[in-house]
């Protein structure tokens, strides 16, 4: 049921999302040039009606037809929706377009399937062109007489229902349903599939609508993220929150805060209460936006505010939502303790990734994950968190594995040739259904997730992570990284003639510090002969091959600096990081190394500085 609702919602939003630019253009023209706008202009304001009543429904219908029937379906949808537009001339037919577009796509797809084995040779172009024309005309007529008037009636009923809620002060209660639905990845469906059509109708007559503000307000999510940033006891969560705040508040990708709610479900109370207060404030002050704020960035939200005090009221509502959400979320985060659900899930995901994400035989044509050539980051709509995650991972991977292509898409459109699909936990079932042959990497957070670190490690080294024993569920605690990298494990101004010499020094350092048995040094050199551990940008990460229990005493990492460089094939490594990994405990430090790779200034200084404490601070 959950998957079906998510897929339905995704279809609604998928018809609108690619056309958001057109909605924004219409919103700006409305905000600027109507009589009550910032720059009233009678001539330019004449574009508002045609864009709203004709352009936007046609674009939405085209996209809906294309989803279900390809390019031919898109053309059919555009033809058919004109009948709906003419059949209900007094209403913007966005909802009618959401019905007519997919219907047209399905009709032409079924026709094409029927004609596959019946198409006479030499008549392809004639039949293909006339089929769209004739079937499109028929659907346009049906839309004119039936679907247009029917959708107009539904729109009137929905709008009247909203008016009743507003009149009786009940609209703020909508947040009780909006916020949990958002966390279940129905945010785009709610905003663009339901609220936008109603808001657009209201904005046409009133010049603004509060309905644009119900889901897109970035305040509720901001409050949750700030609470985690200030009070979380989990270092991973605390460190990832500032980046999530920027992406959520400025970038408008609300999906970035959903995992923080899912980690500790009771915290959903915070954005609910925050949004209730904001909607109540907007209702009392009569505040509304002139067009859809998408993505839900503070920039987009404020840019659609009305002239004059509307901007101030809009900002105050965001501040109220963020403040109330923060006040409610803070004690919940504080009281979670070291064994909070957030910490348990983070550690559980790490162990799960180690047990499932090492060397995995798949049916996608790759025998190990290191053989992958296409990695797909997938979220609900394919335009928000997945795009951000793919960009971040692509930049992280480009030096070590430039042969791997990393893209993003919606979870229901993962390509068949995908080798590895990276998806959030709640979307795994849909990903498996869409791409049953690809390997699924399940994550909770696109910013800081152990599963992504594990995936990067194997793709970069081609080697297994060493997992020793199991951890009982009730013993799960926040990870302890003390002793994995110490100042005694940092060696500056080293010299080595060959990579074998450098690896020997790294292995000896691990042995001297009590991390491994002496035999591990030989295993590190053997591992290098199989596949180079040179990562690019002057960095090598040697480690041992799979070995017997007991050779690694405890997890440890050493950092050796070679300012003159050590030849690793055709390249030179100025930093050699030796690893003795047990149970994946060293992934926190490796994640820091990957982060350092993104900043050339830090990496270059690390290759030359004699300040061991500074190096330790960068990797701790």
Residue pair 148/88 in contact by the 8 Å Cβ criterion = yes
**Segment 538-557, tens digit of pLDDT:** 888 888 765 566 788 888 88
Residue pair 490/564 in contact by the 8 Å Cβ criterion = no
What does the DSSP assignment read for 160-183? HHHHHHHHTT-GGGGHHHHHHHII
- Residue spans of the chain under pLDDT 70: 1-10, 13, 184-190, 192-193, 337-368, 380-385, 387-388, 399, 444-448, 461-483, 530-531, 535-536, 545-549, 582-599, 620
Residue pair 388/251 in contact by the 8 Å Cβ criterion = yes
Domain 343-475 has CATH 3.40.50.2300: yes
- CATH 3.40.930.10 residue ranges of the chain are 487-618
Q: Which two tokens stand for residue 393?
A: 């991972």
Given this model, what pLDDT does residue 4 score? Answer: 63
Closest Cα partner for 179 from 244, 264, 254, 283?
Answer: 254
Given this model, what pLDDT does residue 290 score? Answer: 87
57: preceding bond cis by omega (within 30 degrees): no
**Segment 239-255, tens digit of pLDDT:** 778 888 998 898 888 87
- CATH 3.40.50.2300 residue ranges of the chain are 343-475
Given this model, what pLDDT does residue 300 score? Answer: 87
Q: In sequence order, which residues have a C-beta less than 8 Å from that of residue 14 and are 6 or more positions away?
A: 63, 67, 381, 410
**Alpha helix positions (H), 361-411:** 385-397
Closest Cα partner for 342 from 238, 450, 263, 445?
Answer: 263
The architecture (CATH level 2) of 487-618 comes to: 3-Layer(aba) Sandwich (3.40)
Given this model, what pLDDT does residue 476 score? Answer: 34
| Active site positions, annotated | 379, 543
Given this model, what pLDDT does residue 196 score? Answer: 78
Given this model, what pLDDT does residue 219 score? Answer: 94
Phi, psi torsion values for 305, nearest 5 degrees: -70, 155
Determine which helix (DSSP H) or strand (DSSP E) holds 382, and give its type and residue range: none
Q: Which two tokens stand for residue 107?
A: 């009709």
Given this model, what pLDDT does residue 281 score? Answer: 95
Secondary structure of residue 377 in the 3-state scheme: strand
Q: Which two tokens stand for residue 496?
A: 């080595």
* Beta-sheet strands, E only, within 300-457: 374-379, 405-410, 420-424, 439-443
pTM exceeds 0.75? no
In whole angstroms, give the CA distance from residue 538 to residue 223: 41
CA–CA distance from 341 to each of 338, 346, 454 (Å)? Answer: 9, 8, 22
């Amino acid at each position: 049921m959950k998957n079906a609702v998510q897929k339905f919602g995704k279809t609604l939003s998928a018809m609108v999302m690619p056309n958001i630019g057109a909605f924004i253009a219409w919103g700006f023209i409305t905000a600027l040039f109507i009589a009550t706008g910032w720059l009233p202009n009678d001539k330019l304001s004449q574009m508002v009606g045609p864009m709203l009543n004709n352009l936007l429904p046609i674009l939405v219908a085209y996209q809906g037809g294309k989803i279900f029937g390809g390019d031919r379906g898109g053309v059919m949808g555009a033809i058919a929706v004109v009948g709906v537009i003419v059949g209900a001339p007094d209403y913007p037919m966005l909802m009618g377009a959401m019905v007519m577009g997919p219907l047209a796509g399905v009709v032409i797809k079924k026709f094409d399937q029927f004609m596959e084995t019946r198409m006479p040779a030499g008549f392809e172009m004639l039949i293909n062109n006339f089929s769209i024309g004739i079937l499109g005309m028929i659907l346009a007529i049906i839309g004119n007489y039936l679907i247009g008037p029917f959708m107009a009636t539904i729109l009137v009923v929905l709008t009247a229902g909203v008016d009743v809620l507003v009149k009786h002060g009940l609209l703020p209660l909508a947040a009780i349903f909006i916020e949990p639905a958002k966390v279940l990845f129905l945010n785009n469906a709610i905003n663009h599939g339901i609220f936008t059509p109603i808001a657009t109708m209201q904005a046409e007559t009133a010049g603004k609508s509060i309905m644009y503000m119900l889901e897109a307000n970035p305040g509720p999510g901001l409050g949750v993220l700030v609470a985690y940033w200030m009070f979380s006891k989990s270092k991973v969560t605390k460190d990832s929150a500032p980046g999530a705040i920027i992406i959520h508040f400025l970038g408008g990708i609300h999906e970035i805060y959903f995992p923080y709610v899912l980690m500790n479900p009771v915290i959903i109370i915070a954005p609910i209460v925050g949004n209730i207060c904001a909607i109540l404030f907007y209702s009392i002050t009569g505040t509304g936006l002139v067009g859809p704020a998408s993505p839900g960035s503070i920039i987009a939200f404020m840019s659609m505010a009305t002239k004059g005090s509307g901007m101030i009221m809009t900002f105050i509502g965001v501040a109220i939502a963020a403040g109330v959400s923060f006040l409610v979320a803070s004690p919940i985060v504080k009281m979670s303790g070291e064994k909070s659900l957030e910490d348990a899930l983070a550690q559980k995901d790490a162990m799960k990734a180690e047990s499932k994400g090492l060397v995995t035989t798949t049916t996608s044509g790759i025998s190990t994950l290191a053989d992958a050539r296409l990695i797909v980051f997938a979220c609900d709509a394919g335009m928000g968190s997945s795009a951000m995650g793919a960009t971040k991972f692509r930049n992280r991977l480009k030096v070590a594995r430039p042969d791997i292509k990393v893209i993003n898409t919606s979870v229901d459109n993962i390509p068949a040739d995908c080798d590895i699909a990276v998806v959030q936990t709640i979307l795994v079932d849909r990903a498996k259904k869409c791409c049953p042959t690809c390997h699924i990497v399940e994550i909770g957070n696109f910013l800081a997730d152990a599963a992504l670190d594990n995936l990067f490690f194997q793709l970069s080294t081609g080697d297994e992570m060493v997992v020793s024993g199991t951890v009982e569920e009730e013993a799960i605690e926040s990870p302890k990284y003390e002793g994995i990298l110490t100042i005694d494990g940092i060696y500056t101004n080293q010299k080595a003639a060959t990579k074998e010499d450098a690896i020997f020094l790294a292995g000896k350092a691990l042995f001297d510090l009590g991390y491994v048995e002496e035999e591990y040094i030989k295993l590190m050199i053997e591992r290098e002969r199989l596949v180079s551990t040179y990562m690019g940008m002057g960095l090598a990460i040697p480690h041992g091959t799979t070995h017997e229990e007991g050779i690694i005493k405890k997890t440890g990492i050493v950092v050796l600096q070679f300012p003159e460089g050590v030849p690793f094939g055709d390249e030179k490594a100025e930093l050699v990081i030796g690893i003795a990994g047990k149970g994946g405990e060293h992934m926190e430090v490796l994640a820091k190394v990957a982060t350092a790779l993104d900043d050339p200034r830090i990496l270059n200084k690390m290759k030359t500085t004699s300040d061991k404490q500074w190096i330790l601070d960068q990797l701790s």
